[in-house]
Amino acid sequence: MTDRYRLLLVDDDVQLLLSLGDRLRRDGYDVTTARSGAEAIERLDASWPDLVVLDLLMPRMSGHEVAARIKKRADIPIVVLSEITAPEAKVDVLTRFAEDYLTKPFHYPELVARIYRVLQRLDERIPSQELVLGPDLTLVLRRREAVVGGQTVALSPTETRFMATLAANLGRAVSTEQLLSRVWGGADGADPAYVWVTVRRLRRKIEQDPDEPRHLLTERGSGYRLAGAS
């Protein structure tokens, strides 16, 4: 599997998508493009990107709506690329869902620098080494993977951040409140249901028997903890 960062570019300007996509690919990124909000959601569901570069002014489904739908699926970082220059609008977008904001027309090296900065900041939270939890489970979080019974299973960005938080506290319970803060930190309306839904999905992926988990354990009254095979 490639270690290249995966970017999703969303803009209704086809020429910009072509030129920007080509330049980013030459700089080593794995780039997918979408010309509308609906197409962006389709691309998102097909393959999780590491970061989304998003225009705000698009017909039918605005960039704001696209961002809201993205954040409901996972806390994928968003860099806005927009013609809107009003300071109030920038503050609103950065407060609600974006990690960074750049106005059009833009300077390509500055965009790349901002993308790289956001990705590096997020990467600092993800351990680079494999974590072996037993003969049946190895986590390779930098690649967003788990090896379960010899089979590679893909993890979403949110699942990766969730497991990284538990891995940093291996053997100790992490409360629901801590998980919400560290995994969904900037997402609007995050609630405890996000945690148990993610736990349920992860158990289906990494446990031999999701109903009798051996690694992703519930500590009643305390939260959740990650454990090696007993």
CB 52 within 8 A of CB 70: yes
Q: Write down the pLDDT at residue 216.
A: 96
Supply the pLDDT for residue 124: 61
CATH 1.10.1060.10 corresponds to the domain 131-226:
no
Q: Going from the first residue of the chain to its last (230 residues), give the mean pLDDT of each consecutive group of 10, the final group possibly shorter.
A: 75 95 95 93 82 90 87 81 86 82 92 89 70 93 88 85 88 90 63 87 95 95 86
- 174 Ramachandran zone, left/alpha/beta (phi>0; psi -120 to 50): beta
Topology adopted by domain 6-123: Rossmann fold (3.40.50)
Q: Quick one: pLDDT at residue 128?
A: 66
- Position 1 scores a pLDDT of 32
State pTM to two decimals. Answer: 0.59
pLDDT for the residue numbered 188:
47
CB atoms within 10 A of CB 210: 15
> What pLDDT is stored for residue 159 in this prediction?
86
Q: Do 131-226 and 6-123 have the same topology in CATH?
A: no
Alpha helices in the chain (DSSP H): 14-26, 37-46, 63-73, 87-96, 108-123, 157-167, 176-183, 192-206
Question: What are the domain boundaries of the chain?
Answer: 6-123, 131-226
CA–CA separation, 77 vs 69, rounded Å?
A: 13
Beta pairing partners, 53:
9, 79
